[in-house]
Amino acid sequence: MLEKVKDFFQKDNKPLTSKKVRFGYTQEDILKNINLSIKKEKIYAIVGKSGSGKSTFLKLVAGVISKNYEGQIRIFGKYRSFSKDLFGFVPQEAGFIPDLSIKNNIKISGLNFGVSESEALTRAKDLMNQLKLDIDIDKKPE
């Protein structure tokens, strides 16, 4: 898997390009004609007022939103049809329901992404082990 990831990023293509991207959760567009070309070894910031579509655009790029958009999004020259195994996405919103245990939050998150409760827990425990996190998932988030 690591070789796949290394190969993907070693291409000479631009890390991210978008062309005529349009998206709306309803009939009204949030993103209109978004054209972007990001170069390697540069740092960029996406800035704007609350509700202007910054997080929505990043969700489109990450594949969190995968339907009902128009235009082209390419990552390292490939159309945004990459495997979610190669990329991760951390939303800006707090992801936990404070009245539920961490374990139940993990189960719900898994179901939201089409992963069974047991698979979500297995993946979460594997990640916690890799990161050397010693967390009691039966407790509520702090």
pLDDT digit string (tens) for 60-102?
887 777 777 899 998 887 776 555 555 555 555 556 777 888 9
pLDDT digit string (tens) for 1-54?
566 656 655 655 688 899 999 998 888 888 999 999 988 888 888 888 888 888
Measured CA to CA, the distance from residue 80 to residue 121 in angstroms comes to 28
- Pseudo-torsion of CA 117, 121, 122, 124, nearest 10°? 140
